Chains A and B, each alone.
Chain A
Amino acid sequence: MSPLNNETVQKAFGVIRDEAKRRRDAFREEPVPKIQIGMATCGIASGALETKNAFEEVLAERKIEAHIRTVGCIGHCYAEPVVIMDHPESGFPPIFYHNVTPGKAKMLAKSFLEEGDPLFEHVLGAMEENDLVPQVLDFPRFNQEKRVVLEKCGRVDPEDIYEYIADGGYETLAKILQLAPNEIIEEVQKSGLRGRGGAGFPTGRKWDLARNADGQHKTVICNADEGDPGAYMDRTLLESNPHQVLEGMAICAYAVGAQKAIVYVRAEYPLAVKIVTKAIGQARELGLLGEGVLGSSFDLEIDVFQGSGAFVCGEETALIQSIEGNRGMPRHRPPYPVQQGLGGQPTVINNVKTLASIPPIIEHGATWFRAIGTEKSPGTAIFSVVGNIVHAGLVEIPMGVTLRTLIFDICGGVPNKKKFKAVQIGGPSGGCLPEDFLDTPIDFDSLIQAGAMMGSGGMVVMDEDTCMVDVSRYFLDFTQKESCGKCTFCRIGTHHLLNTLERITKGEGRDGDLEQLETLSEDIKDGSLCGLGKTAPNPVLTSLRYFRDEYEAHVKERRCPARMCRTLTAFYIDLDKCARGCDACVGSCPVEAIFTTKDRKKGVDQSLCVKCGECMVACPAEYDAVMKVSPPDLAPIIEQAVDD
């Protein structure tokens, strides 16, 4: 590239950056309080829109001057709606508030903004060091995270490109346009970055293959299909900071020699679609995309493609089929998409998080990136931690942190004094690991070795009340429905696995079932065409390996140790505990299964009971008389008072 070109790029970008900084400074210097609300899908689902409306109302009503700024996900989904209030005049630092309901919003506006009282009882912490309020950074949920990919999430307004730029965004795009493509690929290779879409393929190598493949019309595709139940990292990233992903895509396109790129998002993510589309428009307007990016000779168009939302469409060959207008069915590889992808042309497909890792790598260098994480899995991992966990949400940690640290220190452990039982990692392709594996470091290879996998980052924590057979049944039900139906093993095999698991949870397990589950699982793994089928048996195989006694209890004793499987449990009322004359449970029962005994205590009619558990909730804590047992014949027979 000619030096003239360098200067053009520098100059063009300089103008944009100056404008971004000018806008930021103007905003900052305005002497009014700022209210920042987390408004990604997770926030909206917990009522962030209502919270925002409440702030708007109260500000108008009481003529308080303040700016409301919407940002993406701050990561603390358990605390949502979250609000950060910056009111410099009050003498307090910016403060992080949790569970800000509309009522709380109005209260905060009045007390804090009008009277300078920050209402300590609602404060989660301060955003910076100070003498008045404890800092959020002192909590493990904050200080053990390492934010590389999510660094700007929750800080920048995703709908304003200037905020991203003022925060250093698009700086690396301007930088790489002055480098030769192979220098970029070398840097990515040196960084050791591995694909965050699940399999962990080295990203630099993929780009190198694509660069060297023959073809005039190469394409870069950002895979945001994200079909794992419970996983929402990619959605959140796109909703909270779309430009970092677009910047990564632009760098990739320049490095491999593509002029076209596509963001493949599922149509069920309307907010992500809207925000990315808007972001592309803004980037085009500023000349960061389109013909002659920043005045250079590099052209790039990025489009959004809305997928139908089938899980299998996340598989790269099916994804291409789907963009080409065909039924999303995987095909045999090789040829790989980097050789023959969209329209038969070389195509790079990378996950959202992979692409979003690129700008920080280019900015700080491969050596910096390698210093985070482990030797073979450099960088960070992002998980959406859900299930029986105190601080659910999006967490970004350096690779190599143990499961124990992540679950117990960072996410606060299991709530309600329950015992930890297992953690499911990697969604329907992953596995369940028991307590013994809590010291496993989180990295691609250690997780595979333990029988789970990184997957795309779904993590479900389960407490002692979870039935492992039922968990397998749940995942198999998912994969079985999502199988594209193309190949024999996946289409029919997963159905038989599900069928057997269903029988077992109903207490209809037979001798030989477990052995058949095992052999069929192995065959499905070895025989299936694509990754869906190859990994579908993992939940069964790992739970059979680590929780076999639970399966055996179901099959041999018709007993569900977690007392979860309805057919295998029964409710009864302990007559020694039941308070005479207390009718609390009676009204709670939806099927009128609770009768009165002759000494005016209560009993459950087992032939009517549907095992909903409502009576157990209804029974006052001081009596705690409703018992749940498995197998069901442990419930004593209690006689009903004879009506006269």
Chain B
Amino acid sequence: MAKLLVDNKEIEAKEGISLLQACLDNGIYIPNLCHIHGTDNPSASCRLCFVEIEGEDKPIPSCTVKAKDGIIVKTDTPSVRRLQCTAFKLLMSVHRVDCGHCPANKKCELQRIAKFLKVGLKPKYLELHLKETEVDESNPFLDYYPNRCVLCGKCIAVCKDKHGRAFLTFAKRGLDAVVSSYGEKDVSNLPCGKCLACIGICPVGAITSKDSPHQTA
């Protein structure tokens, strides 16, 4: 067991787990979207889980460090909050906010983070930039909503974990990046019908099942 000090509170964590996981396990919330419990190679892509660790000069994503004995951590300093707020506003500047019609409504991580950081879901200063395609219906089982997706990559990771290979992948670069399903048309090759793990893990409502469009985690 590692003993560490987070926001002046002493917590205990299993040696080897990430600092983010240790905090979450101890009821200390740190905004996060791309973290997967128990993984050894964090994606570290959402850039929300920043904390300050004594001895380091800049905030660090807490999913990328281990919960080491004796470290002193602050989760709510001004520089941490500044980065988190910017990351969040950036994500929302490419997001179609339409919670009323979204299956994730009330369970959505973005709603939770907005409340936690006390920022609105709709960005005030940044121009909204949405992708043209609202729904990608090419997968025989799944529908994908690019303007809801935060590109956390969890769907791809869980798919690979379940099936030994991923039936989903990132496609395109820069702001055009999306999750895509390889255009696989042969239904018999796709395990999705019986799986739907990606829907379960999506922190927002970006993947839905064609059969039951309102189902989420």
Contacts and interface: CB of A to CB of B under 8 A. Distances in A.
A611 interface: no
B39 to A, nearest CB: 11
Contact of A529 (B44, B126, B173, B177): B44
Interface in A484-508: 484-489, 491-496, 499
Nearest to A529: B44
Contact of A487 (B44, B59, B169): B44
Given A482-B173, A485-B176, A492-B93, A332 B42 contact: yes
A499 B125 CA distance: 13
A329 interface: yes
A419 interface: no
A527 interface: yes
A485 B173 contact: yes
B87 interface: yes
B151 to A, nearest CB: 7
A523 interface: yes
Interface in B25-84: 41-48, 50, 58-59, 61, 64, 79, 82-83
A329 B50 CA distance: 21
B197 interface: no
B90 A493 contact: yes
Contacts of A494: 174
Interface string B83-118: 100110011011000000000000000000000000
Contact of B83 (A327, A485, A486, A527): A527
Contacts of B45: 486-488, 529
Nearest to A340: B41
Nearest to A494: B174
Nearest to B64: A332
Contacts of B126: 496
A140 to B, nearest CB: 43
B129 interface: yes
Contact of B86 (A480, A483, A495, A527): A527
Nearest to B123: A496
A485 B174 contact: yes
B172 interface: yes
Interface string B158-178: 000000000001101111110
Nearest to B172: A485
Contacts of B132: none
B94 A481 contact: no
Nearest to B177: A485
B127 interface: yes
Contacts of A496: 90, 93, 126-127
B47 A529 contact: yes
Q: Taking each of B47, B125, B126, which has the highest tally of chain A beta carbons within 10 Å of its own beta carbon?
A: B47
Contacts of B153: 486
Nearest to A481: B174
Interface string A298-313: 0000000000001000
A interface, by DSSP: helix, strand, loop or mixed? helix
A357 interface: no
A485 to B, nearest CB: 3
Nearest to A496: B126
A327 B170 CA distance: 8
Nearest to A311: B173
Interface residues of B, number: 37
A492 B94 contact: yes
B136 to A, nearest CB: 16
A404 interface: no
Contacts of B151: 485-486, 488, 491
Contacts of A482: 173-174
Contacts of B174: 480-485, 491, 494-495
A516 interface: yes
A528 interface: yes
Interface string A458-487: 000000000000000000000011111111
Nearest to A500: B127
A390 interface: no
Q: Taking each of A327, A486, A499, which has the highest tally of chain B beta carbons within 10 Å of its own beta carbon?
A: A486
B175 A488 contact: no
B156 to A, nearest CB: 10
Interface string B203-214: 000000000000
A526 interface: yes
A526 B50 CA distance: 11
Given A332-B42, A529-B44, A484 B129 contact: no
Nearest to B87: A488
Contacts of A528: 47
A310 B86 contact: no
Interface string B173-210: 11111000000000000000000000000000000000
Given A489-B90, A492-B90, A499-B127, A483 B173 contact: yes
A515 to B, nearest CB: 11
Given A331-B41, A496-B93, A488 B82 contact: no
A520 interface: yes
Interface in A518-537: 520, 523, 526-529
Contacts of A484: 173-174, 177
Contacts of A480: 174-175
Nearest to A485: B177
A72 B46 CA distance: 46
27 contacts: A327-B169, A482-B173, A482-B174, A483-B174, A485-B174, A485-B175, A486-B43, A486-B153, A486-B177, A487-B44, A488-B46, A488-B151, A489-B47, A489-B86, A489-B87, A491-B174, A492-B90, A492-B175, A493-B86, A494-B174, A495-B175, A499-B129, A523-B82, A523-B87, A526-B83, A527-B83, A527-B86
Interface of A: 310, 327, 329, 331-332, 480-489, 491-496, 499, 516, 520, 523, 526-529
Given A487-B45, A488-B91, A495-B174, 10 more contacts: A332-B61, A480-B174, A480-B175, A485-B170, A486-B153, A486-B170, A487-B44, A488-B45, A488-B47, A516-B125
Interface of B: 41-48, 50, 58-59, 61, 64, 79, 82-83, 86-87, 90-91, 93-94, 125-127, 129, 150-151, 153, 169-170, 172-177
Top 6 A-B pairs, shortest CB-CB distance: A485-B177, A492-B90, A332-B44, A523-B86, A483-B174, A487-B45
